[in-house]
Amino acid sequence: MPAQLIDGKAIAESLREEVKQKVSERVAKGLATPGLATVIIGDNPASKVYVRMKQKACQDAGIYSVGHELPGDASQEEVETLIRKLNNDPKIHGILVQLPLPAGLNEEQVLNSISLQKDVDGFHPINIGRLAQKGREPLFIPATPSGVIYLLEQSGAQLEGANAVVLGRSNIVGMPVSMLLVHANATVTICHSRTKDIPAITREADILVAAVGIPEYVRGDWIKPGATVIDVGVNRVEDASAKRGYRLVGDVAFDEAVEVARAITPVPGGVGPMTIAMLLRNTLRAARLADGNDVG
Ligand code: GUN
């Protein structure tokens, strides 16, 4: 029997609706409209598309959003000056600096300059450091990783005691998702470019998260029958029959995997929409933090 499809699009839509409702309730009570500032440096076309989607999602949810664009040759000081201004702007509750940054900028210092209370991406070194420690609570959890965990939970996967394998060790997805899986009491193996015999490891995985950026890298026979597969990859592959000349595929060979897994996310329509939904949630949370509320 083919796997259950984990419909990230529908799940994200219902989360976005929930955020919209909560935003409208707080505004009706006279509380501040949540505000998100996006910062994009340089002209990476994919980053521009993502940021535009984030701004549109804010608009739909009733969240105020302002976009800032700096040239690719902006200096460290210019970037940090803008961030300091946004840190001090009471209308802005969340600051998102789209990554990757152009070469020459110090990413760690840029992320470190964002106010901890406005770090809706959860990439501030203190928030990431807290995520890496037992018994510590980050103020914000990065959007894509928390979307992955949410989809796993919604699919009915058992995380506690599960063998979870994460392919990829990026700061944005692989590492934080691994830490969240540990917090959920899974036993986690992280595979990367130097790992030996990756298929032998993935075949033991009850939960498999693929975030390597290689089209259809994971084959059907790498998957343990009954596993839950979360595909974070979004890769363009040429396709002359497609209107745009390309189609999007994940890091997992979907047609093969769907015959083996218990549940799987499609690409597109799986993890992608969750990133935006979780960012909106984090922005609402930032506004509640600014109210002085215990957001729990
Ligand atoms: N680049 C790719 N994913 C993300 C994300 O979730 N946040 C930011 N800021 N940059 C990204």
Question: What would the pLDDT profile of 250-263 be if each residue is shown by its tens digit?
Answer: 999 999 999 999 99
Q: State residue 242 phi and psi, 5-degree precision.
A: -85, 150
List Cα–Cα distances, 239 to 96, 200, 218, 253, 266, in angstroms: 33, 31, 20, 16, 18
Centre of ligand 1 to C-alpha 98, Å, is 5
Range of the domain at 68: 30-116
146 lines ligand 1 (CB under 6 A): no
Give the position, in ligand 1's atom list, of the atom nearest the Cα of 143.
6
- Among 99, 140, 280, say which to mutate for ligand 1: greatest number of ligand atoms within 8 Å of CB: 99
Each residue of 157-193: pLDDT tens digit? 999 999 999 999 999 999 999 999 999 999 999 999 9
The whole-number pLDDT of residue 43 equals: 96
Task: Give me the residues of the chain with pLDDT under 50, please.
Answer: none
List Cα–Cα distances, 220 to 224, 249, 269, in angstroms: 9, 15, 20
If asked whether residues 192 and 249 sit together in one domain, one would say yes
Neighbours of 209 (CB within 10 A): 30
As for how many domains the chain has, the answer is: 2
Is 86 among the domain residues?
yes
Which residue, judged by its Cα, is nearest atom 2 of ligand 1?
A: 99
If asked whether residues 149 and 108 sit together in one domain, one would say no
Neighbours of 228 (CB within 10 A): 28
If asked whether residues 149 and 111 sit together in one domain, one would say no
Which residue type occupies 129?
G
Instruction: Give the catalytic positions in this structure.
Output: 54, 98, 121
Residues 6+ apart with CB under 8 A from 152: 159, 207, 228, 230
* Greatest Cα-to-Cα distance within the chain, rounded to the nearest angstrom: 58
Which residue type occupies 259?
E
If asked whether residues 111 and 176 sit together in one domain, one would say no
Is 173 among the domain residues?
yes
Taking the model in full, what pTM does it have? 0.97
96 lines ligand 1 (CB under 6 A): yes
Report the side by side order of strands in the sheet with 4-5: 4-5, 263-264, 228-231, 207-210, 163-167, 187-191
The encoded tokens of residue 23 equal 């935003």
Q: For position 34, which CATH number holds?
A: 3.40.50.10860
282 lines ligand 1 (CB under 6 A): no
